[in-house]
Structure 1
Amino acid sequence: MQDEILTRTVKPSGSVVTLSDVKLDLRVDHDFEDTLIQSLIQAATEYLEAPSGVLGKAFLTQTWKLSARGPDSDCRIYIPVTPVQSIEAISYFDTDNVEQTLAVSDFHLYGDENWAYLTPKDDIEWPDLFDRLDALTITFKAGFGDAETDVPETIRQIVRLLVTHWYTHRSAASEASVEELPLAVQSLISVNRKGWIY
């Protein structure tokens, strides 16, 4: 396992589900609890989303920096937040501890919504690195897309069901575990969790 530092530098600009959609689910036609409902949408998203959420995936487009000591023995850098849209920049500290940049075009990105790794093209090698935890830094964009409709409908449905459950059972939001959630939510989480095989 590579030592790594993972930092989100740009958050998503929108929300996976809209306030109006959730209010329809809740049959709420007033605005007295809009702030509460918005906070529940945010809590549900954070509960599910990468890197520490139960699904382990990024939803809307966001930018991350991954710093590591270097590639693994197969010359790969595994990227823990998926799906990866693009690699924006690659930098490293050379053996003199001076920061340098690498051409993104010299590397292949492999992966899908469950996994991703970066490796040099056949005629390229990783440079020699200074011994530090952030010797190599990859800046990348992750997520299914910019719009809420880019996110798989099953994931959006999980968010809506979670908000409905937590709104109805106010204490549940602070005591959430997958086992305590409604069966429909548990089932959708199971088939959308990173690493699930159909």
Structure 2
Amino acid sequence: MTGVYNLVSSSTTPIVSLAEAKRQTNTADFGDDDGLLTALLDVATQHFDLESGIIGRPLLTQVWEYAAPSPPQNNGRSDPRLRGLPPATGFVIDRAPLQSVDKVEYLQDGVYQTLASGQWVKRKISKELTFVRLAKGVAWPRVDDDEAAWKITMTLGYGATAADVPAPIRHAALLMISHLYQNREAVTGFGAALQETPLAVTALVAPFRSPNF
């Protein structure tokens, strides 16, 4: 059984500022549409961010929990992404960019216990994968038979500020904001020529799309 990711907390900061959006839409000299542009900042951020976005990555810093039953018994056989590595029992974290693994907990007699930080290690397998296992010489504790017997708390995202987000993603957000500001309808044209207006951002964000999404 694979684990489940749950969002604990996330930033409410948009990935581009109102000032940047006003420059992009040539509205820097008046504030009549600031309310609309502020709403479009949120739309663009959500369009690209992990939980519901098209890239499949968290952008600004977020805290997530990974809940899973007892870990697989052999990473070399249980998860093909880890073949070639020394066999070990552990958990595969396939969310990126991963800033840190903050806490490992296990459920024992209905109460979550924290596994001391020195008793587990994380190993970066690739840009997309991190393996969390026990430190050498540490035995796995007894845990309840539960689908969330283990919880791993982690911090994801490119960073805490909009400037930490890769420039192509931020510019794609500006293109989307400008498009939505200039085109207040879902389609353009008339009669037989009526068609959906393209957002023209897919090419910019494609290199950042998660292969696990």
TM-score by length of 1: 0.82
Letter aligned with residue 133 of structure 1: E
Give the share of equivalent positions with the same residue, in percent. Answer: 27
Q: Which residue of 1 aligns with 2:115?
A: 102
Provide structure 1 residue ranges, at least 5 long, that are not aligned to the other structure. Answer: 174-178
- Tell me: CA distance 1:13–1:99, structure 2 relative to 1, closer, same or farther (3 Å): same
Q: Which residue of 2 aligns with 1:176?
A: none
Q: Is the 8 A contact 2:66 2:151 kept in 1?
A: yes
TM-superposed CA distance for 1:112, in Å, is: 5.6
Aligned-partner SS, 1:27? coil
* Map 1:71-150 → 2, pairs under 5 A: 71-73=71-73, 74=75, 75-94=89-108, 96-105=109-118, 106-110=120-124, 114-150=128-164
**Matches of 2:176 and 2:156, distance apart in 1:** 23
Q: Which residue of 2 aligns with 1:56?
A: 56
TM-superposed CA distance for 1:125, in Å, is: 4.5
Output the aligned Cα RMSD: 2.5
Letter aligned with residue 160 of structure 2: D
**Matches of 2:113 and 2:47, distance apart in 1:** 37
Provide structure 2 residue ranges, at least 5 long, that are not aligned to the other structure. Answer: 76-88, 188-195
- Tell me: CA distance 1:76–1:164, structure 2 relative to 1, closer, same or farther (3 Å): farther
**Matches of 1:36 and 1:182, distance apart in 2:** 18
Deviations 1:47-77 (A, max 9, x none): 1111342111111112112212232342332
- Say yes or no: does 1:154 pair with 2:168: yes
Aligned-partner SS, 1:171? coil
Q: Which residue of 2 aligns with 1:16?
A: 15
**Matches of 2:127 and 2:185, distance apart in 1:** 32
- Tell me: CA distance 1:33–1:121, structure 2 relative to 1, closer, same or farther (3 Å): same
TM-superposed CA distance for 1:13, in Å, is: 5.1
User: Which is greater in Rg?
Assistant: 2
- Say yes or no: does 1:163 pair with 2:177: yes
Q: Is the 8 A contact 1:50 1:58 kept in 2?
A: yes
**Matches of 1:45 and 1:143, distance apart in 2:** 13
Letter aligned with residue 144 of structure 2: F
- Say yes or no: does 1:193 pair with 2:209: yes
Q: Is the 8 A contact 2:122 2:130 kept in 1?
A: no
Q: Is the 8 A contact 2:61 2:160 kept in 1?
A: yes
Q: Is the 8 A contact 1:84 1:112 kept in 2?
A: no
